[in-house]
C-alpha cells in the first residue's frame, strides 16, 4: 500500500510563503504522477496543481501565478511552493499520486489519483 507523507503546512500572514512536500513510501521501484488539492471548510475538495507523466503542469485559476508544483527526479516526491499567500488560501491541502505504468505508447497514468496524503493545514491570516 502506497503511503503519501505530507509536511510543510502552518500559519503565515498575508503575502507570506510556505512550501509543502509530499513523499511516496513503499514500492521504491515505482514512479508517480502527482498533484495537489485543497479543501475549504464546508466545501468540496478542489484540484489546484498537477504534473502529468509528460511533464505538463496545470494549475487552477485560483493559484496560477502564485503556486508552483514540482517533482524530484525520482518522481516519488512532489512539492508545492506557495507564494503571495492570501487568506482565501486557508484550507487543508492534500497531495495525491498514482503510479506511472508502461504502455506500448509510452508511460501513462490513470486520470484519477488512487492514493492520498493525510492532509496538512495551511492558515493565512490578514
How much is the pLDDT for 73?
85
How much is the pLDDT for 25?
85
Q: H or E element: which one contains 6?
A: strand 3-7
Model confidence over 87-125: pLDDT tens digits? Answer: 999 999 999 999 999 999 999 999 899 999 999 999 999
Model confidence over 64-91: pLDDT tens digits? Answer: 999 999 998 888 899 999 999 999 999 9
Distance between CA atoms of 73 and 1, rounded to whole angstroms?
22
Mean pLDDT, the chain, as a whole number? 94
Residue 28, pLDDT > 90, answer no
Amino acid at each position: 500500500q502506497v503511503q503519501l507523507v505530507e509536511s510543510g503546512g502552518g500559519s503565515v500572514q498575508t503575502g507570506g510563503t510556505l512550501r509543502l512536500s509530499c513523499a511516496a513510501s513503499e514500492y521504491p521501484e515505482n514512479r508517480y504522477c502527482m498533484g495537489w488539492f485543497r479543501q475549504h471548510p464546508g466545501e468540496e475538495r478542489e484540484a489546484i496543481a498537477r504534473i502529468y507523466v509528460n511533464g505538463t503542469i496545470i494549475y487552477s485559476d485560483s493559484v496560477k501565478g502564485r503556486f508552483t508544483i514540482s517533482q524530484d527526479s525520482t518522481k516519488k516526491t512532489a512539492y508545492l511552493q506557495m507564494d503571495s499567500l492570501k487568506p482565501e488560501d486557508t484550507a487543508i491541502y492534500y497531495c495525491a499520486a498514482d503510479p506511472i505504468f508502461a504502455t506500448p505508447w509510452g508511460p501513462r497514468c490513470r486520470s484519477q489519483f488512487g492514493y492520498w496524503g493525510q492532509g496538512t493545514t495551511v492558515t493565512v491570516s490578514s
